[in-house]
Amino acid sequence: MAKVSMKLGFTFRVGDLQTNQYGRIDLSFDQIDTELPLEPQLKDSQNAAENIWKHLREMVDTRIEDMLDGDSSSNV
């Protein structure tokens, strides 16, 4: 039974271009069984991925705002 993984990443600029600050978010699906139908496997993961994305987005947004405001206590 072969298993595959898939990873999608997104790198984005934070703040002004001259600050050279970037963030990156990656989403990966691991252990996808090639002998089973793909759609049910992805559907089972979709809800968890959406909840994780929402949580991470809120956390990253807060950290970026703190960083741009010069708050050094918000190290990621």
22-55 per-position pLDDT tens digit: 888 888 888 999 999 999 988 888 888 888 889 9
The torsion of the CA quartet 36, 39, 41, 46, rounded to 10 degrees, works out to 170
Which amino acid, residue 1?
M
pTM given for the model: 0.55
CA–CA distance from 28 to each of 15, 38, 52 (Å)?
A: 27, 15, 12
* Distance from C-alpha of 14 to C-alpha of 71, rounded to nearest angstrom: 15
Pick from 31, 21, 8: which is nearest to 63 by CA?
A: 21
